[in-house]
Amino acid sequence: MHNGRSVEFERPPHGIRFLVTMAAAAASETLNFNVGVLGHIDSGKTSLARALSTTASTAAFDKNPQSRERGITLDLGFSSFCLPLPEHLKPHGDYTRLQVTLVDCPGHASLIRTIIGGSQIIDLMMLVIDVTKGMQTQSAECLVIGEITCPRLVVILNKIDLLPEAKKQVAIDKMTKKMQKTLENTRFNGCPIIPVAAKPGGPDAPETETAQGISELIELLISQTYMPKRDPSGSFLMAVDHCFSIRGQGTVMTGTILSGSVNVNDSVEIPSLKVSRKVKSMQMFRQPVNTAIQGDRVGICVTQFDPKQLERGLVCAPDSLYTLHAAIMSVKKIPYYKGSVHTKAKFHITVGHETVMGKVTFFSPAIEDFDSEPVMDRFDFDREYLYQEEYLSQAKDVDVDKSQADGSKVPRQQWALLEFEKPVTCPRLSLVIGSKLDTDIHANTCRLAFHGVLLEGFEEKNYAEVSLPKLKVYKLKHKEGQVERVSDDYNVIGRSLFKKETNMQLFVGMKVKLSTGEAGVIEGGFGQSGKFKVRIPAN
């Protein structure tokens, strides 16, 4: 089998071929760079990916039967094109060519969870804008996802062929300025904006129509490439987006490696099915390989299982992933989300390629620790945390005296306890996005509410009894009483704060504040009717 012989197999019913061979390929010479194609429905994303690509994978260009029937992308599509390695990347390794993998994400609002899953595997994002319409609701949501997940952006002003020739340049310049203004307060301020016509004449135009601006776009994409993090160490983890079987050979899983590496003959685990399978062969865009690493787009053929059980999900090194019933995340609210984000509210929680309903409980450091340096890679169960009724965005949200909250401070870091309605399988430090996907898709509003990093997970079904007691979250209570009389310069007697049966020893040493500004300490009870003694220390 090592003499380069190969066999081609058909995958019914669509005739998509997967080539299986044992011949080794120099995969290490190819640098894979993932470019996400995102934007509003009908902005021309798939046409753009088609115009750019010379080699399509099994999942490319709306192969899904529903996609073809409805004329929209329902799933992640993948295609690629290869180029000689750009000069600015040559000092970074022994690569000889650059493979640009295009991840075509669906634009329909109801499929935002698919977009979130796809965005986590991209190195650069192309935001496709219909030049005749400008920014639309889903364009804005894609931009938000890009800000969370992606370091670089290129804006594509598509469909310039629909502009009247006499006013074309004026219209392009006007939309370019609009987009520059939109991006001004984002991490993508000053990013490149380029006009194209991916499919002149629209979807029904003859294939002989030549796309406009594609060679310029390829040059721009090349200039925007960089050396992405590619670390073969660590546990193997792959996001699978398609799965199908090949009669007599096994089951093929296609996807992108999120961490680690995989080799032919390795065992891999499919955690959602609780099974392990041996890797029989692998390919990258029809080229056989023996090894694949983080960032690679790869097809893995394993010993047979029913592909219908894994259309999308995660594959990993055996025993490296955990199934969680609840988790703790470091959380940030997405500023474009209108309204408050309340404790006990339910959100769609997207972790990796899974989206489940979950209940959130927000908490922060103690007020004196609001300025503590954020810690994004671990959670400290030894600290005490302050319960919050909602994510804190303004000082008025802090239910304590303003002088304690320093007038306008909010904590530099906040956390949320996530309680999932269905267990999720994911690695530690996963990206988490909370959203309200049941919001009317026609409403002109951002449905993405918060995002963050998963720091700790609880595997036990009875986590509330077993694990949650380790989480020290307290509530601040505010009570008002009255000064009955002043005993001397340093002591007052108070009332109307406690019931007469209250055990006053529990409150000894607690601080109180007088309306005249002095601070005091409860020294104990006074008499039998719930009155108490407060000492005002001398300055």
The CATH number assigned to the domain holding 257 equals: 2.40.30.10
- Same domain for 169 and 22, yes or no, is yes
Q: What is the DSSP letter of 5?
A: -
Q: Count Cβ atoms below 10 Å from residue 210 Cβ, excluding itself.
A: 9
Is 229 inside a domain boundary? no
- Same domain for 274 and 333, yes or no, is no
- Same domain for 109 and 244, yes or no, is no
Chunked into runs of 10 residues, the chain (539 residues) has average pLDDT values of 33 34 47 86 83 53 36 50 89 85 62 54 89 87 86 95 93 96 93 93 72 91 90 86 86 88 95 91 86 88 90 85 93 89 94 86 93 92 94 59 50 97 87 85 80 94 94 87 90 90 87 88 90 87
Is 385 inside a domain boundary? yes
- Same domain for 492 and 513, yes or no, is yes
- Same domain for 32 and 136, yes or no, is yes
- Same domain for 51 and 154, yes or no, is yes
The tokens describing 123, both together, are 């190195």
User: In angstroms, rounded to a whole number, what is the distance separating the alpha carbons of residues 453 and 436?
Assistant: 18
CA 111, 112, 117, 120 torsion: positive or negative? positive
User: In angstroms, rounded to a whole number, what is the distance separating the alpha carbons of residues 75 and 111?
Assistant: 8
Pick the closest to residue 52 from 103, 106, 121 (CA basis): 103
- Same domain for 24 and 113, yes or no, is yes
118 burial via Cβ count (<10 Å: 0-12, 13-18, 19+): buried
Residue 237's DSSP bridge partners are 259, 316
Residue that terminates a domain, selected from 316, 339, 360? 316
Residue that terminates a domain, selected from 284, 316, 348? 316
User: In angstroms, rounded to a whole number, what is the distance separating the alpha carbons of residues 256 and 267?
Assistant: 17
Residue that terminates a domain, selected from 445, 474, 503? 474
Residue 427's pLDDT is 81
Is 4 inside a domain boundary? no
Is 5 inside a domain boundary? no
Pick the closest to residue 319 from 351, 279, 275, 281 (CA basis): 275
Three-point CA angle 336, 339, 341, nearest 5° = 95
The tokens describing 207, both together, are 């294939």
Q: Which residues contact 309 (CB under 8 A, 6 or more apart)?
A: 272, 273
Domain around 244:
237-316
Count each helix (H run) and each strand (E run) in the chain, helices first.
7, 31
- Same domain for 58 and 204, yes or no, is yes
- Same domain for 264 and 392, yes or no, is no
User: In angstroms, rounded to a whole number, what is the distance separating the alpha carbons of residues 481 and 228?
Assistant: 61
- Same domain for 273 and 390, yes or no, is no
Is the pTM higher than 0.75? The answer reads no
Instruction: Quote the longest CA-to-CA distance of the chain.
Output: 101
- Same domain for 212 and 297, yes or no, is no
Residue 120's pLDDT is 60
Q: Count Cβ atoms below 10 Å from residue 72 Cβ, excluding itself.
A: 18
Pick the closest to residue 58 from 299, 301, 313 (CA basis): 299
The tokens describing 259, both together, are 């961490």
Is 8 inside a domain boundary? no
Q: What is the CATH number of the domain that holds 169?
A: 3.40.50.300
User: In angstroms, rounded to a whole number, what is the distance separating the alpha carbons of residues 107 and 138?
Assistant: 7
Q: What is the DSSP letter of 187?
A: T
User: In angstroms, rounded to a whole number, what is the distance separating the alpha carbons of residues 30 and 20?
Assistant: 20
Is 10 inside a domain boundary? no
Three-point CA angle 376, 379, 383, nearest 5° = 125
Decide: helix, strand or coil at residue 281: strand
- Same domain for 137 and 174, yes or no, is yes
Q: Looking at the 3D structure of the chain, how many domains does it have?
A: 4
Is 296 inside a domain boundary? yes
User: In angstroms, rounded to a whole number, what is the distance separating the alpha carbons of residues 339 and 337?
Assistant: 7
| φ and ψ at residue 46, rounded to 5 degrees | -65, -40
Decide: helix, strand or coil at residue 177: helix
Residue 187's pLDDT is 92
Residue 15's pLDDT is 33
Please, how many CA atoms are within 13 Å of residue 19, restricted to the half-sphere of its CB? 14
Is 275 inside a domain boundary? yes
